[in-house]
Structure 1
Amino acid sequence: MVTFKSRFPKGSERTTALGEAEAGLVEHYTGLVRLAYLTLPPSLGRHRRVLVSHGLVQRALPGFRLRQYALRVPAQRPGPERHGPVWAVRERVLRAALAYERRPRWWPKTLPPPRALRPTLPVVWGLRLFPRAGDREEIALGQALSGVSADVRAAFVLCRADGLPEAHALELLTAAGASRADRVVRLARQLDAPAVEAARPLSLLRSAEFDACSVRIRPTDLLRRRHRFRLAWAVAAVVAVGAVVLTATGSAPGAKAPPTTAGAEAASPDALVRTPRNEWSGTARVDFTAWPPRGGRTGDRDLLARALATWAAPPAGARVTRTPDTATDPPLHGTRLLYAGEVDGKAVALFHDGLRAVRYSEPLSPDGSSALDFARTDNSDLTTAAALVVSRGHGTSRYLTAPWIARAQTRDLLRPGAPAQPLQVSKTGVTDPVRTPAASGPCHSWPALHLHTSPRIAEQHAFVVTDLGGLVPAHLTYTPPPGKDTTAWQPHEATGTPAQPSWARAACHLTELPDDVRTVNIWDFANQHLPENGGHAVWSCVRADTWRGLGDVSVRLTRPGAAARVVARSRSTAACSRYGRQVVASTRWRAQSGHGYLLAAGSAAVTDIEVTGAAQASAKGRTLAVRAPAGARAQVSARLAGGGKVTEIGRPAEN
């Protein structure tokens, strides 16, 4: 039996059998693979993350050494598992997964990290592996995890899925090389809300969405693989002929071969991926990768070559726009062709490379210059990958709808209850012109798309998107106020009768949002009866999430006979999301009698509200109204049913 001895001072040395470590690895294999899979950078893609996570776990055994740290406090004796074989193997897996994301400063950004270049097992040829798709909650959790660093993801998995106490997770992260592990654990704790049951994150993390040991198998692009095989034979033949010629004639001193780059190969129309036309109806990944190429000029090599050349090196005079934090790097290997055709007097080509949607347009007439637009689209889904703006001008927009959209309509958000109007969609997926919302001036209407999916994807599923000026329209949702019929905090589609009045109050404020907004959700979190018979007021939280992962929040108060008024704002926050469900907000209000009041309201878990400062008061329940002199500074906080405390969102606006 082979044993290894750790290199520690005398008194902390301990040997362990390699067989014992192997048994622990096999027993906890699924959990270790899940830890590696969620810690690895999402930019690798699900197929590579599956293979790399298995490889990291399997490589944790060779050269295994069990490390036992000297105890600083004799009374705190850890259990055997804390420094046993499983602990040591978990540390090796975590260290390797964290190091995988780190890239040397001198390493080119266009290449994968050095560790990714190592030929390690397992290796899969001709197949793509990916975990089974989860529901909306699993997808939301995955998007939240992709927006944080690898060490924060690792801390979240250790504390939630593996059930380690925070002190043990802190020690393990420190041993694995994570910097500022205490801050990492604190950020991981903020990913979860205090009112969420402890079993819920555990069930989400152990679902099929994050189980890299239970995967689905699909073939790679067969046509592209065939083209690469032929290209490899052609290159081999050219090399062989060149070698024979050089051998026969010799080479000139100092001669240099013409340079070839991966970027030039990726910028070739032959390298574009073309998804089969009906693949969208049988794939578990319903996003831009399932779009087939459409349009009347998908076979126009000259147009595609000009578009890719402009993308690789924009010439002088070309207009280039991008959403925040969106790279404008040259085309990557695996870039897909989504559309090529003529729209509104322009030749348009749409591409997607897994992280970005790119639109190229050029005028059909000799006058004018080309344009290139970049938009971030990573981690898109059925709703956020439902349409792209293919053309915009003269106060209208045309959309290219996803292949799973069976019917399209338009509706005016400012007219709740009005029937949606039919929208004609061509055979290539391009819609008739749709009026764009007014960017400035009076807000008399707000057009939006009401899209219906094919029954082959989701039975009778409909949702609403709207144009905010970017390449990708924003998905609109609605969360109803807490009540007996609301069993869980879950955004609904903004198509139902309860959602339409709330969106009618908030639609005109969408002009304040940037063009890279992914989703906008309205949450009517509280209702309040105003003092002195002031009527019934609704507190709403409008949350706009961007493709960058950041979320901005504005709290609005709607009173009878008055327009909705913004009373508080907060930038880059988790408030009003499923990871920040407990909120409280306040504002000043003046009754018809002239008396000034401080109003406050909280979400469902709020049990009492307290006001300190110039105006001091407290009230049981979720709402408060107290007389307050004009200009008096006050701070509002609330206590939660679970024992926590929450402060108000942002700074309340003064009348």
Structure 2
Amino acid sequence: MTDVEAVEAEPVDVDDAEAALVEHYPRLVRIAYVTLPAAMGRHRRVLLSHRLVQRALPRTRRPATGVGEDADPAYALVRGEVVRGALAYGRRQAGWRRWARAALVAAPLPPQVLGLRLFPRTGDMDELALDRALSELDAPARAAYAVRGVEGLDEEQTTALLAAVGVAAPRKAMHDASAAAKTVDFRSLATAEFDPCVVHARPTDLMRRRQHVRAGAAIAAAATVAVALLGVPGDGGGGGFGAAGPLGPQQAALNRVLDPSGVVRADSGTWTRTARLDFSSWPARGDRTDDHGLLQRALDVWARPSDAVRVSATPGTAQTPPVTSPQLLFAGDVEGAGVVLLYDGLRVVRYAEPVDGGAAPVLDFARVDGASTASASAVVVTRSDGNARYLTAPWIEHAELRNLLKPGGAPQPLKRSADGVTDPVPVPAADGSCGAADSSWTAMRLTPRAGTPDQQPFLLTDLAELTPAHLTHASGPGAKQGEVNDPQALGDWAHAACRLAAARGNGVRTVGNWQFADQQLPDDAGTANWLCTRADTWSGADHVSVQFVPPATAANTPATVVARGQSTAACGPMSPGVLSGVLWKSPTGHWYLVAAGSPEVTSISAGGAVRSTADGHTLAVPAKPTSHPELSGRLPDGSTLAALT
């Protein structure tokens, strides 16, 4: 059963189906190509997409299912057959069906020309990003993306088509495709990168092919002897290949990309001539940038890490091989490890191997698309003994360390090598424990060189990712974020810093703190502050928390979290409005409901167990400690702002 009902139309004549197939052939081939698994390789996907379309022609009159009111039944029939056929190659099948499908994929596909490979042209960075995003989707989601991007169908039409061709959960597939479209638009499928009707033809490795021909008879004879002597072999394990896994058929196309001599190297002055400061303007640094062997191992392990390699990735980061020659950022020995940092326009990849060869290599992926200035200013080189060393950007003039829990303390100098590698920097405690006299939360304070677009110092902190998170601050209307350089910003972060522990390992790009209200509390208790802390990730997800800071709270005491939210515009640049409340006990022992909204809130209303309304953007009314009030705010245009809870 599917979650969408399909509608059956009148039977379609074979002649009509053939006319529709010929007329729309390029569109159908494009749909098949995008839906097929990327693991097949581009050559086989090109040939197989053409085969699927040509085999979609029915032998007899047949009805077309899932046809919309305005759709051509003949075209809908062949399109459905194409999608159904392409989906079959993305299913996980058991038993003899799986082996039969594998044999069909491996079988020769017409047309066959010895030594010739066909593939669409390589696209720009947006198209490469889409190719990576599609590789992470399952077959139904790729099909949904394909028919939406190529055909321009809406969500309901796409869902109906998927149901008609047998997709078990078409709405889930549509949801996954829509999520991918938030990263790269459906319209990107219109480019030549995804057009298997316009292809390049290139030879395979000519020398290797000649050697294979000469050695063919010997290999066959050796295989026959091996079978006779050894019988049926076992699985053999995964050993014998070192840190890089064995080459598969699709790896041949990566040979050029994995050539160390082809890595991109920016010169030392690139950053002074570019309009945007990001990783593409980093020069290659380190004492092993010309070590061909180290670079080759790093590229090989990136392309096909063996089971022995420890791999980690920022959430939402593709772990796919490079598609073009990456840029070299660093290659050198640091703390007993040979480290290579590479950048492919979307990701920074870190490879590290022990100099003494005593342990397995490490491979780390971090998403960095859209990084600029502050968010492209540091990358972890090594971690050991609770410390991290960073490679800093070429536009950084000074580096210092600041303890966020001591806002009045002076920054401490942070030394760097000539290549820009820092001395060890303490990593904040994983549990975020605070409140003790010796508590600390370390942040790096980096100052750009003269001539950079923004010369203000900024703060970065380690959240267990390859790239540190950028910390910002805002006060007043609009939540417009700036750098953390004044006493108010430092004071607010002293209360919010320890809550950063909850964001560790979530792929956080920036964390902004906004003091959106201060409030005079009843019983002459003093002034409380309200903070909204928004963490935005590289994948586009967000995490928001509202924090309450009572009067006379010690500088290093964490604020009280009173509300949380996800996938919300609150405290962000698009729609910053926020409202929340908390039950608070005054020093005299009385309980109150205290609430505050951002400056644009004109009045606050409480309902439920506590009923009251107050003009302005704060409210304080007596309440019982067991109350569960409901809050709402009024905006200048008369609309209502719901409270975060």
**TM-score higher than 0.5:** yes
Task: For residue 560 of structure 1, report the CA deviation from its aligned partner.
Answer: 1.5
- CA distance in structure 2 between the partners assigned to 1:291 and 1:520 by the alignment: 24
1:499 aligns with 2:489: yes
1:519 aligns with 2:495: no
1:344 aligns with 2:341: no
Task: For residue 424 of structure 1, report the CA deviation from its aligned partner.
Answer: 1.2
Alignment partner, residue 178 of structure 2: none
Task: For residue 581 of structure 1, report the CA deviation from its aligned partner.
Answer: 1.1
- CA distance in structure 2 between the partners assigned to 1:432 and 1:119 by the alignment: 45
Alignment partner, residue 476 of structure 1: 471
Tell me the secondary structure at the aligned position of residue 470 of structure 2: strand
Alignment of 1:420-569 (within 5 A): 420-440=411-431, 442-443=433-434, 444-458=439-453, 460-482=455-477, 489-515=479-505, 516-562=507-553, 563=557, 564-569=559-564
- CA distance in structure 1 between the partners assigned to 2:120 and 2:299 by the alignment: 31
Distance 1:105 1:522, change over 3 A: farther
Q: Of 149, 165, 177, which aligns to 2:153?
A: 177
Distance 1:366 1:571, change over 3 A: same
For 1:511, the aligned partner's letter is A
Task: For residue 501 of structure 1, report the CA deviation from its aligned partner.
Answer: 0.5
For the 8 Å contact 2:511–2:536, the answer to whether it is kept is: yes
Tell me the secondary structure at the aligned position of residue 440 of structure 1: coil
- CA distance in structure 2 between the partners assigned to 1:491 and 1:533 by the alignment: 32
1:622 aligns with 2:617: yes
For 2:381, the aligned partner's letter is V
Distance 1:251 1:394, change over 3 A: closer
Distance 1:508 1:119, change over 3 A: closer
- CA distance in structure 1 between the partners assigned to 2:120 and 2:208 by the alignment: 31
Distance 1:179 1:528, change over 3 A: same
Alignment partner, residue 102 of structure 2: none
Distance 1:612 1:642, change over 3 A: same
Task: For residue 118 of structure 1, report the CA deviation from its aligned partner.
Answer: 6.6
Distance 1:501 1:180, change over 3 A: farther
Distance 1:606 1:328, change over 3 A: same
Q: For each residue in 1:94-131, what CA deviation from the matched residue of structure 2 results, as whole angstroms up to 9, or x when unmatched?
A: xxxxxxxxxx76899xxxxxxx97789xx9xxxx999x
1:401 aligns with 2:392: yes
- CA distance in structure 1 between the partners assigned to 2:358 and 2:579 by the alignment: 56
Q: Of 562, 573, 586, which aligns to 1:578?
A: 573
For the 8 Å contact 2:456–2:483, the answer to whether it is kept is: no
Q: For each residue in 1:471-514, what CA deviation from the matched residue of structure 2 results, as whole angstroms up to 9, or x when unmatched?
A: 100000000134xxxxx541010122221101111111111113
For the 8 Å contact 2:432–2:498, the answer to whether it is kept is: no
Unaligned runs of at least 5 residues, structure 2? 1-85, 91-117, 127-132, 134-148, 158-174, 176-199, 221-247
For 2:486, the aligned partner's letter is G
- CA distance in structure 1 between the partners assigned to 2:121 and 2:520 by the alignment: 67
1:604 aligns with 2:599: yes
Alignment partner, residue 35 of structure 1: none
Task: For residue 241 of structure 1, report the CA deviation from its aligned partner.
Answer: 12
Task: For residue 177 of structure 1, report the CA deviation from its aligned partner.
Answer: 2.8
Moved more, 315-324 or 461-470: 315-324
Alignment partner, residue 324 of structure 2: 333
Task: For residue 643 of structure 1, report the CA deviation from its aligned partner.
Answer: 1.9
Distance 1:525 1:406, change over 3 A: same
For 1:502, the aligned partner's letter is D
Distance 1:254 1:459, change over 3 A: closer
Alignment of 1:112-151 (within 5 A): none
For 2:468, the aligned partner's letter is P
- CA distance in structure 1 between the partners assigned to 2:252 and 2:461 by the alignment: 40
Q: For each residue in 1:433-469, what CA deviation from the matched residue of structure 2 results, as whole angstroms up to 9, or x when unmatched?
A: 1112122374301111111112232363221101111
- CA distance in structure 2 between the partners assigned to 1:386 and 1:106 by the alignment: 45
Q: Which aligned segments of 4 or more residues in structure 1 are displaced greater than 6 angstroms?
A: 116-120, 235-238, 240-243, 249-255
For 2:307, the aligned partner's letter is A
Tell me the secondary structure at the aligned position of residue 511 of structure 2: strand
Task: For residue 540 of structure 1, report the CA deviation from its aligned partner.
Answer: 0.4
1:370 aligns with 2:361: yes
Alignment partner, residue 595 of structure 1: 590
RMSD: 3.9
Q: Of 308, 311, 321, which aligns to 1:317?
A: 308
- CA distance in structure 1 between the partners assigned to 2:308 and 2:372 by the alignment: 35
Task: For residue 238 of structure 1, report the CA deviation from its aligned partner.
Answer: 8.1
- CA distance in structure 2 between the partners assigned to 1:377 and 1:237 by the alignment: 34
Alignment partner, residue 389 of structure 1: 380
1:290 aligns with 2:293: no
Tell me the secondary structure at the aligned position of residue 495 of structure 1: coil
Q: For each residue in 1:375-398, what CA deviation from the matched residue of structure 2 results, as whole angstroms up to 9, or x when unmatched?
A: 111111111010001111112111
- CA distance in structure 2 between the partners assigned to 1:250 and 1:566 by the alignment: 70
For 2:300, the aligned partner's letter is A
For 1:593, the aligned partner's letter is T
For the 8 Å contact 2:546–2:562, the answer to whether it is kept is: yes
For 1:610, the aligned partner's letter is S
Tell me the secondary structure at the aligned position of residue 375 of structure 2: coil
1:639 aligns with 2:630: no
For the 8 Å contact 2:403–2:442, the answer to whether it is kept is: yes
For 2:533, the aligned partner's letter is V
For the 8 Å contact 1:348–1:359, the answer to whether it is kept is: yes
Distance 1:440 1:618, change over 3 A: same
Distance 1:129 1:377, change over 3 A: closer
For the 8 Å contact 2:509–2:537, the answer to whether it is kept is: yes
Task: For residue 322 of structure 1, report the CA deviation from its aligned partner.
Answer: 1.3
- CA distance in structure 2 between the partners assigned to 1:550 and 1:324 by the alignment: 10
Task: For residue 575 of structure 1, report the CA deviation from its aligned partner.
Answer: 1.2
Tell me the secondary structure at the aligned position of residue 256 of structure 2: helix
Task: For residue 174 of structure 1, report the CA deviation from its aligned partner.
Answer: 14
For 1:588, the aligned partner's letter is L
Tell me the secondary structure at the aligned position of residue 440 of structure 2: coil
Q: For each residue in 1:490-546, what CA deviation from the matched residue of structure 2 results, as whole angstroms up to 9, or x when unmatched?
A: 101012222110111111111111331100000000110011111100000011111
For the 8 Å contact 1:550–1:573, the answer to whether it is kept is: no
Task: For residue 175 of structure 1, report the CA deviation from its aligned partner.
Answer: 10
For the 8 Å contact 2:544–2:570, the answer to whether it is kept is: yes
For the 8 Å contact 1:523–1:542, the answer to whether it is kept is: yes
- CA distance in structure 1 between the partners assigned to 2:498 and 2:125 by the alignment: 44
Q: How many corresponding residue pairs?
A: 443
Unaligned runs of at least 5 residues, structure 1? 1-103, 109-115, 131-146, 148-172, 182-186, 188-231, 483-487
For 1:592, the aligned partner's letter is P
For the 8 Å contact 2:563–2:580, the answer to whether it is kept is: yes
